[in-house]
Every structure is written in structure tokens, then in C-alpha cells.
Amino acid sequence: MNTLAQKKLLVGVTGGIAAYKSPELVRRLRERGADVRVVMTAAAREFITPLTLQAVSGWPVRADLFDPAAEAAMGHIELARWADAIVVAPATADFIARLAHGRADDLLSTVCLTTRSRLLVAPAMNQQMWAAAATQANVEILSRRGVRMLGPDAGPQACGEVGPGRLLEPDVLAAAIAGQFRAPRFAGVRVVVTAGPTREPIDPVRYITNRSSGKMGYAVAEAFAEAGAEVTLVSGPAGLPAPSGVALVRVETAEEMAAAVCAHMDGAQVFVGAAAVADYRAAEVASQKIKKTAEAMSLALIKTPDILASVARRTPRPFVVGFAAETEQLIENARKKLESKHLDMIAANDVSLTGLGFESERNALQVIWKTGEASLPAARKGELARDLVELIGERYFEKNRAENS
Ligand code: C5P
């Protein structure tokens, strides 16, 4: 269990129904050794009482910006300086909007604006509110500023709807918060990740592509950056924003992806091929839009370069991780790819399962290497990526130790 010993955490509670989970979160954080103080917004006090949070944190709960007694004991500026991290859980859509726009009209927003410490935000709201363009734009503003979003989780909601917007469970949240303080394992390591589909043109308006959303590869790149690595993400057309701390190189075709990977591999120690690279492209791309005059037509296809296999042939050889999206005989097919492409590790996912893998927020992985394997059960792609990066770290550093001894 990751410890939070000697860490000072300020938990901000805002006004959503998920506030009923905040006392449990405070307890989980204290179990890990953190010193926890709580600030509530006025709306949060409509859902739970300050007394409950005082009891579990062991400290009086702060709520007002203009409270002479509290300000005399520890002013809002001192409170912001005191915290090693501020965790807003739950964070409502309204609070996220206020944070994104730099409002300072209550104690919690003022402390968030004042702090130089890391800011962690655990959103909780109705799934439509989460999906709303305004909320997503606010989340993007915050992510670009280095605010870490923890969740939301997907599933049944208090309002009766189902979808993304649930607060992460307190134990999952406490583990994710503790994870933010882990020593950056990959500091000084250069990593190249590919993600997304590729788009192979047929004529100026048509192309061949696949169902990859790019979410898994983007999550892997972000997890490496969180772990201290210097990350280049080479992405096909995924329409996703660049993860924070990651250099994003956008490409379209398999050949462009191969060239971009080659240009960034010098000095890279780890390569993760999470892209769903088209295996074939049109042998010839028509210069004008093809007319529908013929009753039938056939398209000649030729193979694209295998980026993963060519990276595995490089000297010096990086640590190479592939993905295998399979619809049948998952493990057997993944093992074959591990060997035929000379990989160090392969992460296999069954894309025939509904709700997991392609186009989904969630995934499950079976990770295989020469001397072992591990199951990473169904989870949000962000969490899964962090676990995968942990596993890659174990094998990568073990291999380095063996080669250097
Ligand atoms: O052989 P298959 O396409 O199933 O292998 C999947 C793995 O190979 C993925 O890691 C994918 O990123 C990589 N790949 C590649 N270049 C290709 C085809 C696949 O890097 N042309």
C-alpha cells in the first residue's frame, strides 16, 4: 500500500450527492498516514454536516472565507501553503467551472487559486453534465494547467442514469492520491508511444481506417509522464487533446507513423505500440474522386510497414511492448506475436467483449512476457494504464539490472 505518511492533504468537499463518500475518503487517507484538513463549500453543507468531517479528520472544518476566528488560527493563505496537495472530492460541474475560470468567491476556490501545491480533482455529477461541452472544455483547461483529474468512474448514478460521472470509490481515490506522491520511477527515461488508428487514403475523399479511439494509448502516454518519463506520443487521427506533460506528434497514415517513430526513437529506452496501425493500404491512391460508374470494383491493397517489429530490430534495442487486439484465442495469438515480433511484453485485449476495448472508456488486459503473465481486470483506461506502466517498470528495470550485472 502506498503511504501518505507526513503528507498534509486539504480535502475540499463541494455540493453534490457524492459528498456522502467524503468522510470515508478522509478515513482512508488518514489510514495511509496523511494529516487531513477539510474545507466545505456552502452547498456541501446541504448534503453532509461539518461535524461528521470534523470527527473523521480530527480538526475543525473550515467553511467561510470571512471567519475571523478561523482566519486568526490559520488564514486562507497559510492553509493553501500548508497543504502538500489539495484534493477536491467530490468536485461538482459548478466547482470545476469556477476553478477553470479562476473564481475566488468562497474559501475553497480562494485556497485553490492561492496554492502552489498539486491540485487533484475528483469529479462527480450527472453523466449529461459531465459530457456537456462546457464541462469538457473546463476539464481541458484544468488539465492543460496541470490539474490532475481523478475519475470520474462510470456506472449507475444517484439520479437513476448510467454513465460516466460517478465519484471514484474512496479506497480507489485514496490509492490514486497516494500514487501522486510516488517517486517518479521513470525519471530520465525516454519513452515513445503510438496510439489511435491510422487513415489510409483511397482517393481525395475516402480512406480505410478502424475503430480504435486512441484512448488506451493516450492513457499509457499520460501514465508514463506521471511516472516521470519524457514521453513522445505519435498518434493517428484520434481527436483527443494532448495529455499533460506529453509531446504529441500527429500523423495520418501508417507510413507517416513509421517515419515519425523512427525520427523519435534515437535515445528512447522504451517503445509501446498501442496504435491500431492499418495492416494494408491502397496500392494506388487515385488523384481524383473515384466515380461510381462500374457495377463492381476491387481495390488492390499492399502491406504497410510493421512499426513494432522494426523497432524491436533496432540496435541498441529498446524495451518493446506491443498490444494485441483479438477476437478469438486471445492468449495463444498474443504469445505468437510476442515471439514473432521479438517483443519484451504484450498486452492483449479481447475486442469481442461489449463495453470493453475499442471505442470504450474501459478495458481489461492480459499482459504476457517470456517468463510470466498478469491479468489486469476491467477498469477505466487511465487506471489500467497506470497498472500497465507499473508492470512495464518491473520488467524494464529488472532487465536493465540483469544486463548491467
Ligand atoms: O500483428 P498485429 O497488427 O495484430 O499486432 C499488433 C501490434 O503491432 C500493436 O502493438 C500495433 O501497434 C503493432 N503494429 C505496428 N505496425 C503495424 C501493425 C501493427 O506497429 N503495421
Give per-residue pLDDT as tens, 98-126. 999 999 999 999 999 999 999 999 999 99
C-alpha cell at 212: 480504435
pLDDT in tens, 133-173: 999 999 988 977 888 889 898 888 888 888 889 999 999 99
pLDDT in tens, 363-404: 899 999 999 999 998 877 887 898 899 999 999 999 998 888
Instruction: Compute, in degrees rounded to 10, the torsion defined by CA atoms 263, 318, 344, 308.
Output: 10
236 inside domain: yes
Asked if residue 250 and residue 171 are part of one domain, the reply reads: no
Choice among 275-284, 299-308, 348-357 with the minimum mean pLDDT: 348-357
| Domain's final residue, options 157, 179, 201 | 179
0.75 cut: is pTM over it?
Answer: no
Asked if residue 330 and residue 290 are part of one domain, the reply reads: yes
* Ligand 1 centroid, distance to 211 Cα (angstroms): 14
Domain coverage including residue 129: 8-179
Q: To 10 degrees, what angle do helices 133-144 and 93-100 make?
A: 50
What is the rounded average pLDDT of the residues 308-314?
97
1 inside domain: no
* Ligand 1 centroid, distance to 279 Cα (angstroms): 8
pLDDT at site 21: 98
Asked if residue 383 and residue 327 are part of one domain, the reply reads: yes
pLDDT in tens, 31-67: 999 999 999 999 999 999 999 999 999 999 998 888 8
| Domain's final residue, options 179, 198, 232 | 179
* Ligand 1 centroid, distance to 326 Cα (angstroms): 12
Asked if residue 252 and residue 169 are part of one domain, the reply reads: no
**Cα–Cα dist 37/52, whole Å:** 13
253 lines ligand 1 (CB under 6 A): no
From 159, 162, 187, 263, active-site residue: 159
Asked if residue 299 and residue 161 are part of one domain, the reply reads: no
Contacts of 241 (CB under 8 A, 6+ apart): 140, 143, 144
* Cell 488486459 -> residue: 365
| Domain's final residue, options 144, 179, 214 | 179
Q: Would you say how long the chain is, in residues? A: 405
Contacts of 294 (CB under 8 A, 6+ apart): none
Asked if residue 231 and residue 159 are part of one domain, the reply reads: no
| Atom 1 of ligand 1, nearest CA residue | 337
Contacts of 282 (CB under 8 A, 6+ apart): 200, 201, 202, 208, 299, 300, 301
The total number of structural domains in the chain stands at: 2
Q: DSSP of 268-309, one letter per residue?
A: --EEEE--B--SEEESS--SSPPPTTSSS----EEEPP-HHH
Residue 20 belongs to a domain with what CATH number?
A: 3.40.50.1950
Count the Cβ atoms, other than its own, within 10 Å of residue 404: 6
**Cα–Cα dist 147/150, whole Å:** 10
**Residue 59: C-alpha distances to residues 52, 74, 119, 154 (Å):** 11, 12, 21, 33
Asked if residue 118 and residue 62 are part of one domain, the reply reads: yes
Supply φ then ψ for residue 301, to 5 degrees.
-120, 145
Count the Cβ atoms, other than its own, within 10 Å of residue 214: 22
| Atom 4 of ligand 1, nearest CA residue | 324
Q: Which of 251, 308, 388 to mutate to test the pocket of ligand 1 (most atoms within 8 A of CB)?
A: 308
* Cell 488508428 -> residue: 197
Asked if residue 35 and residue 144 are part of one domain, the reply reads: yes
- Sign for the pseudo-dihedral over CA of 178, 183, 187, 191: negative
Give yes or no: 159 in active site: yes
